[in-house]
């Protein structure tokens, strides 16, 4: 039972962090656009979003997966967050 709870906690925490990353990728560039170019604003947003991931769920990933699997899974999740953020921006934009 503990393993099932641990797995559920891992999945739920990753979903919450992924949603947070996506929100950061939408909000931060928009807020920084007043002072920085859009490209730089997106880089800052990406740095903040990845930092949230690394600080919150990366240790759990290191416990469960090796470096290559971690890279592959996280690449898909992070690119998915970026593409979702772009889609949201296009839907809400002018």
Total structural domains in the chain?
1
- 53-84: per-residue pLDDT in tens? 999 999 999 999 999 999 999 999 999 999 99
By residue range, what is the domain housing residue 8? 2-92
In sequence order, what are the residues at sequence separation of 6 or more whose Cβ sits closer than 8 angstroms to the Cβ of residue 15? Answer: none
CA distances from 52 to 20, 44, 60, 90 (A): 8, 12, 13, 24
Helix (H), strand (E), coil (C) string for the chain: CHHHHHHHHHHHHHHHHHHHHHHHHHHHHHHHCCCCCHHHHHHHHHHHHHHHHHHHCHHHHHHHCCHHHHHHHHHHHHHHHHHHHHHHHHHHCC
pTM over 0.75: yes
Grade residue 6 by pLDDT with cuts at 50, 70 and 90. confident
């Amino acid at each position: 039972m503990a393993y099932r709870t641990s797995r559920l906690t891992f999945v739920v925490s990753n979903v919450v962090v992924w949603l947070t990353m996506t929100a950061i990728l939408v909000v931060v560039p928009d807020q920084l656009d007043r002072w920085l170019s859009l490209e730089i604003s997106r880089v800052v947003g990406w740095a903040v979003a990845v930092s949230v991931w690394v600080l919150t769920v990366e240790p759990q990933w290191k416990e469960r997966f090796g470096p290559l699997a971690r890279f592959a899974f996280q690449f898909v999740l992070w690119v998915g967050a970026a593409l979702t953020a772009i889609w949201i921006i296009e839907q809400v934009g002018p």
